[in-house]
Amino acid sequence: MILSNQTYMQLAFVTCLILALLTLPLRDIVTVGFFDISDLFVSFMISVFIGYMINEAMPGNTAISIGLFLLIVITVVTGVVLLNIFVIIPFRSRSENSSATSIRQLEGKEGTVSVSITADGVGEVLVYTGFTKINKMAKIYENVKEPIAFIEQGTNVLVMDVKDSILYVIPYTNAIQATNKQKPTWNTEHKK
């Protein structure tokens, strides 16, 4: 019987592993929303491994029955489906949402010019978002009273708009930076 022969069980495990890896590119094509073809082979691989371990743990040369093996397969498939529904799909949808909308969320953020921006050209801006830094292509924002011809490297900027994955920026000094650049006036009377 195949379930009693350890060599066949090992061969079945390796075959399911190889098929799971080979079908990874087909995951989006052959799928039922929360269960795809790779999950099927992974489930069979886990079931064969559990069956192999049960056979190893049993004294003598007895084999697990077909019914017990089918119960193991059904339990593992159910576990994989529940894992997909409650863990993998919610995390995948969150990561897709955050990456798709993150560039639009840069409007109104401050950044620093890492590659100088000319009036006709494209530069690069480093924007801090939480704990991460994002480098994006940038152009000078044109809807201002006084046209800006050049923004040099190291200048603090404000992202005014985002179009076609390009940030449109203007030079910007926030209140904290403005107070750091001012000279203190509290001790000027003592010097006179």
For residue 155, the SS3 value is coil
Whole-angstrom CA distances from 71 to 15, 54, 179 are 21, 13, 71
Distance (Å, whole) CA 12 – CA 7: 9
Residues whose CB is less than 8 angstroms from the CB of residue 48 and which lie 6 or more positions away in sequence, other chains included = 9, 12, 13, 16
**pLDDT tens track for 106-118:** 888 888 999 999 8
pLDDT values of the chain reduced to their tens digit, one per residue, 192 residues: 556 677 888 888 899 889 888 888 877 677 666 778 888 888 999 998 888 888 888 766 566 778 888 899 999 999 988 888 888 777 766 654 444 446 778 888 888 999 999 888 899 999 887 767 888 899 998 877 788 888 999 999 999 988 888 999 999 887 665 566 666 666 666 555
| Amino acid (one-letter) located at 154 | G
Distance (Å, whole) CA 122 – CA 19: 47
Residue 36, token pair as written in the block: 């795809």
Domains in the chain, please, with CATH?
A: 2-101 (no CATH), 105-175 (2.40.50.140)
In the chain, the N- to C-terminal Cα span, in Å, equals 105
Residue 23, token pair as written in the block: 């079908």
